[in-house]
Amino acid sequence: MAAVAEAGGDDARCVRLSAERAQALLADVDTLLFDCDGVLWRGETAVPGAPEALSALRASGKRLGFITNNSSKTREAYAEKLRRLGFGGPAGPGAGLEVFGTAYCTALYLRQRLAGAPAPKAYVLGSEALAAELKAVGVSCVGVGPEPLLGDSPGAWLDAPLDPDVRAVVVGFDPHFSYMKLTKAVRYLQQPGCLLVGTNMDNRLPLENGRFIAGTGCLVRAVEMAAQRQADIIGKPSRFIFDCVSQEYGIDPERTVMVGDRLDTDILLGVTCGLKTILTLTGVSTLGDVKSNQESDCMSKKKMVPDFYVDSIADLLPALQG
């Protein structure tokens, strides 16, 4: 499979990143942007060798950023997890400045879209962390947490009170997603001018030992289908999340690498934004998926091919230690 992938079909992309190639690549790079789940860790377990690789990158003067579609943590909480699992990074008041999660970037998006609205409010199908990031930019929230059915008939469900100040429905990762929440979301979205925003469209979230759970994209699709509306998506591969990084980091795309485990989010974002791309095989996508995209007649799939691949980001260590 590797030999077929390296042949590159009609292009020379998806080459194994050897130590020699990695040294040449890193010599031309200032910034490396990493996905987190499936790249740095699985669940609460760091990918073996990944903390050492990032420590070596920091020691070599490279600037690191972390772009995650996961909306269940604030920037500060992600920074704490990075430090706890051995990846380093700033602490104190500057904690979180390296992290660009969909909770934070969704807040920036709503701040732009709801500018000028008096006391803007969002109905949030998501976590306390997502609500906290929204509140930090002045958007208050309702809907977080369990919301059981009220009454025993559809008529009763439709009579549940709505907040008249809600201007947006935001769908993130929500373990309390329910039929009552779906019904309320659709009712809000029937009101003129109410925005529908999804943090990301990931279909599954990888955990330890090859396990996974349903991702936020499953919930976004449910709301889209019920409301007959298309959501504005914040996370990868949407360019908006990269623009958030670029505005705060001042990135030169030609000297930036995107490292991820998913072809349809991480790698597609990198290709779309003119970055160099590395696929790591510790998460969702496989070399078989790459081969399928290379051989596809669909131009959008042909875009989802990385420049390089590694078995794990620990494979960068020899280039950094040599």
DSSP output for 19-83: HHHHHHHHHT-SEEEE--BTTTEETTEEPTTHHHHHHHHHHTT-EEEEEE---SS-HHHHHHHHH
d(Cα 114, Cα 93) in Å, to the nearest integer? 28
Residue 35 is among the residues annotated as catalytic for this protein: yes
* Rg of the chain (C-alpha set): 21
The catalytic position among 10, 11, 30, 35 is 35
The catalytic position among 11, 30, 37, 289 is 37
What is the sign of the dihedral through the CA atoms of 85, 86, 92 and 96?
A: negative
How far is residue 283 CA from its own chain's centroid?
Answer: 14
At 253, the amino acid letter reads P
Backbone angles phi, psi at 66, to 5 degrees: -125, 115
Residue 261 is among the residues annotated as catalytic for this protein: no
Beta-strand pair 256-260/276-280: parallel
Beta-strand pair 256-260/204-206: unpaired
Residues with catalytic function: 35, 37
